[in-house]
Chain A
């Protein structure tokens, strides 16, 4: 199999810090990545030179690994080109720079007015337009035009106990109409509130406790606890705790987990993946039973099956691999307040940060950026940031309540040196026990 992946990416960004618009930047990158797969070996080369000579040179480098098999010419019938329109109402490139800067200045004003203890504010805006074309010798010809827009606010609050930070962001696979859909003032107030709340926070507890994760707190629990472990590259190398477990009960019956690249507007949304396969909705865990893994072309073809539309790459300079898109737990039926009320003592996590997993052992961590103590069924004192640690299959079995207040959160997923945008979603849920890594004995 030989494949040409062509990408044209334009980005623009603006950052405000210390009350000033410090940096406006714009960038452009275009080029092609050429992949040749022969037997067990993949050869890859990329070039920014899109002339015929440049492409042929890259193709020769990529094919060099397969030289032992001899050369030759093959003619491939490709379907008619079907260009896709960008899925954005307002292309960010058509919005004035001054209009983008208004957002930054507005967010700065609102965040600073949240309290005298807010001593520093950073606001970042970014947009990107990524046009890709994939042509393959197995007859695939596909194009996509992906437009993404984001805004984030980081606040520092200072008090007697030192400094604390608060973060909030919005990021969607849409154009500048994002700012008709979200309230920038609310975003800035949320970031400021998080920093302010933690000024009076006490150290997080240490040891195993029940934990309630709020709806929309990040959903990164599933991304780390099982998402990465369900990526087929880990499965075929037997480097995941979920290898060979399709059909088994791997989670509480309350867990139905879906990875869905088709959810319009979400941060991990696209029409076709970076191997030309249409994005799809894939049920990974159904009422606790493992139903399938996520697949890219290379791992799927070896198993004699179809890709699940999860082949992604950071740019034309990278090889594709199995990646998540929008990964979420389907909502349950319980009342979120009732879940808290029925938790005598534990930790309530209102907002999660990042996380990390070792897919082979299943051990994973995820960090809190806004959390509170639960005492006698009530949310009480704010807690300082901490990581929580657990083992994927064990934690999934300990989910004993899922509420009906579902929402999604954007994130950036890093794997093997490549970053891609993803979405995570869940409703309020409770884990009966997970280790909280604070300092309060």
Chain B
């Protein structure tokens, strides 16, 4: 099999004078298993590969730059050659943009991260199907109130990426990952409640089936008997999974591109207090515990630790090369891209709040009365990172005298992201690295509007 970097370099080697070329090659293998009713419902195994090429015309230091992009789901030599030509042609039509640049090596050393588990390759497919079946069995037998396990999944992937550019970028990354995920329905007559649980790791051997099944079941069972409550203002305690989802939305407002283009509520507020002093937000992809940990970013620069909010004060944004140049600053090694079919954009990979000193039980006790939110829906339709308007569907449990009480469903929780950051009462010590771009931990927020009856 041809080395990926060789393919990328061969494309870059075809750059014409005055032309910048960047080639991003990726190759991956995936296995996905779903168990249902004690049988293997689906088993999929496949490999895929592809290339994305950016061409910048009018290179050098002149101002007449234009960028074009093309991609293909193949690394065959004739396809790769056609992709370069297509990217070149696309560049001819783009608007002139003095900020259109490819990343330049900036001397920052990449962190040595081992993101491939050696155990990964040793696990045969039969073991993976057994894990899915065992996950389903555990979820089904954990509690007599579980009426159905509607999916019990095992999945893994192994991905290699190589990046080369005519500006001198050379980067190769490899990573493995595995997960199990289970979704259960608990039921009584005329009632269904649902819960999901999962476990992620760099290898199948790192997965905790018992915990995934236990989480799914307890989340579903504790919702039995849930009802709507009367609307009102409450202190809301958010489950770590909910916080991870919400930090991902906040991260899009911390994108330097959104800021420089006037599409972030953080624009123009550097150095100001945007949150309570309990809030310190750091994006650190060099932390190997993070699901999004990476040595290199989507343009081949070293990933690095970026402090974005420190003690409530807004301190910085994340930039790729183009947005950094537009903003008159340096890139922060924060280019992310959605595989070979996407171009790099500025974004976070491993955002986390600095932990407080209380766990979830401690926070519930401190809050006393309020609403605990176990899961949210409609984040893409009800949270706007430009305006900050925030309204999501929620289910969870009442907090009474410092402990979880009766379950609540079919309500919404609303505020604005700006006000929520200024109303953070507690940040949990229970940091959990969840799949996605942000860690989860328990957070309490004061004065949110809960809508119900």
Contact = CB atoms under 8 A, between A and B. Distances in A.
B110 to A, nearest CB: 27
- Helix, strand, loop or mixed for chain A's interface? strand
A436 B451 contact: yes
B378 A367 contact: yes
A437 B382 contact: yes
A20 B95 contact: yes
A17 B261 contact: yes
B68 A24 contact: yes
Contacts of A208: 452-453
A431 to B, nearest CB: 14
A25 B70 contact: yes
A23 B70 CA distance: 10
Contacts of B452: 207-208, 435
A435 B248 CA distance: 26
Interface string A366-389: 110000000000000000111111
Contacts of A61: 45-46
A435 B412 contact: yes
A386 B49 contact: no
B259 to A, nearest CB: 12
Contacts of B449: 206, 438-441
A86 interface: no
B366 interface: no
Contacts of A164: 386-387
Contacts of B93: 14, 21, 24, 97-98, 101
Interface stretch (A39-47, A252-260, A270-278, A282-290): A39-47
B73 interface: yes
A419 interface: no
B94 interface: yes
A103 interface: no
Is the interface on chain B under 10, 10 to 19, 20 to 34, or 35 or more residues? 35 or more
Interface stretch (B156-164, B207-215, B280-288, B391-399): B391-399
Contacts of A361: 192-194, 409
B381 A162 contact: no
Interface stretch (B33-41, B138-146, B427-435): B33-41
B97 A386 contact: no
A36 B331 CA distance: 48
A418 to B, nearest CB: 12
B41 A25 contact: no
B67 interface: yes
Nearest to A29: B73
Interface string A137-180: 00000000000000000001010001111000000000000000
Give the residue among A24, A238, A358 with the most B Cβ atoms within 10 A.
A24
A31 interface: yes
Contacts of A437: 382, 391-393, 411-414, 451
Interface string B95-126: 11100000000000000000000000000010
Interface stretch (A127-135, A332-340, A349-357, A396-404): A349-357
A390 B453 CA distance: 11
A358 B97 contact: no
Contact of A42 (B41, B46, B70, B150): B41
Interface string A4-46: 0000000000101111111111111111000000011111111
B300 to A, nearest CB: 19
Interface in A292-323: 317, 319
B378 A365 contact: yes
A120 B341 contact: no
Nearest to A165: B386
B263 interface: yes
Nearest to A162: B387
A42 B392 contact: no
B73 A31 contact: yes
A356 B262 contact: no
A249 interface: no
A432 interface: no
A119 interface: yes
B198 to A, nearest CB: 14
14 contacts: A25-B71, A27-B72, A58-B46, A162-B388, A238-B185, A239-B148, A239-B185, A355-B381, A385-B384, A386-B382, A386-B389, A389-B412, A435-B451, A438-B391
Given A23-B68, A384-B387, 20 more contacts: A21-B95, A22-B97, A24-B91, A24-B93, A25-B69, A30-B73, A61-B46, A162-B387, A206-B451, A238-B147, A353-B380, A353-B381, A365-B412, A386-B382, A391-B410, A436-B412, A437-B414, A440-B449, A441-B231, A441-B233
